[in-house]
A and B are shown apart, each in its own frame.
Chain A
């Protein structure tokens, strides 16, 4: 979360009323948004900060830089397709990318649990180094703290990234118009389901990997092909695509209509979601992004993405409509429709 920077913003009244913090407040959905909008924003950004984006643009001596931060707490640390190290690098690179910036440098902070085997730490740091090389970003500085055994799930990692603005694109939810197309870079649900299965509580197995990767080059390709037509981008992490699009719908005061049969989901993810009673639209992703593009540029945008490395599964998944306001609607081929809300709480497997 970040807001257009105002020097020394005055605090506004706190509107957050929950007496204690629950897991739901970190799940990326409704509760999380309430905490951010009700406690952090009023005290840190002042009154009326406007829509909260992934990264902040800060002006320093006439140059605008983008800056963002993200914490990574994942259990297990390592899973098919990646580990916390990759997430920590790619997550921040991606937040900058979807805000229209190219990551130049990251700084990283570690909170380590006493008793963590050095071998594990080293593996993660190697993973970070590799991810940074792959993403073309340097890790410039860092900090380490160690806490007592039991006070951190082996390790927590925070990365803060700074980047230069990419020319030719302006991200602004308020520029979204009726008729704009909603693009998705690739299949959703891979990461969240991989983590769920890797935890081992549910005794399921599948040939599935996290989709963690830097989306910077895809974003650059998109900007190159359709820059003037890009209204908004977001990487749908915790809370899934449904949460990101609900936030957009709220911010721009329009409706998002998705075409169910056009949303790319791998069979295995579909199967796992059916088995567990989950909706792929609510599952976290770490290597995909959403983009809203004007109709004139939509074809060029999709073409460019599908021809680019790693973009072959990109799809137009929906469009912006006037109604229902502030809502995401999913329609089926046979004329049925349902509303998909922001995630409430954590996605819990159900049996009923």
Chain B
């Protein structure tokens, strides 16, 4: 259940079918935008594709935030441990 792939919207169709051409590293396919009626994507947007339908828009901001969190892994905890090592709370 869940093979879904990010793809970039290349072109929105002009017909009534709510369809768009999406590109996944050079592989192009027409997909259905019917499930994103409430939040229509535009060319250049990234969407998550499952069985030929766009399920959700991909938030580049959230992705970037996540990468930052992952990059900082270990650094924040390391800094905390160091500070706790100073035992500042023991100083009256």
Contact = CB atoms under 8 A, between A and B. Distances in A.
Nearest to B2: A352
A284 interface: no
Nearest to A271: B25
Interface stretch (A12-20, A86-94, A201-209): A201-209
Interface in A270-297: 270-272, 274-275, 277
Interface size class on chain B is 10 to 19
B30 A270 contact: no
Contacts of A205: 27-29
Nearest to B26: A268
A333 interface: no
Interface in A332-352: 350-352
Contacts of B3: 277, 350-352
A267 B1 contact: no
Contacts of B27: 204-206, 268, 271-272, 275
Given A274-B5, A275-B5, A277-B3, A351 B28 contact: no
B57 interface: no
B19 to A, nearest CB: 11
Contacts of B26: 206-208, 267-268, 271
A351 B29 contact: no
B25 A203 contact: no
B70 to A, nearest CB: 13
Contacts of B5: 274-275
A352 B1 contact: yes
B35 interface: no
Nearest to B25: A271
Contacts of A207: 26
Interface string A240-284: 000000000000000000000000000110111011010000000
A267 B25 contact: yes
A270 B25 CA distance: 8
23 contacts: A203-B52, A204-B27, A205-B27, A205-B29, A206-B27, A268-B27, A270-B25, A271-B24, A271-B26, A271-B27, A272-B24, A274-B5, A274-B24, A275-B5, A275-B24, A275-B27, A275-B29, A277-B3, A350-B3, A351-B3, A351-B51, A352-B1, A352-B2
Interface of B: 1-3, 5, 24-30, 49-52
7 closest Cβ pairs, A-B complex: A271-B25, A268-B26, A206-B27, A271-B24, A267-B25, A271-B27, A205-B28
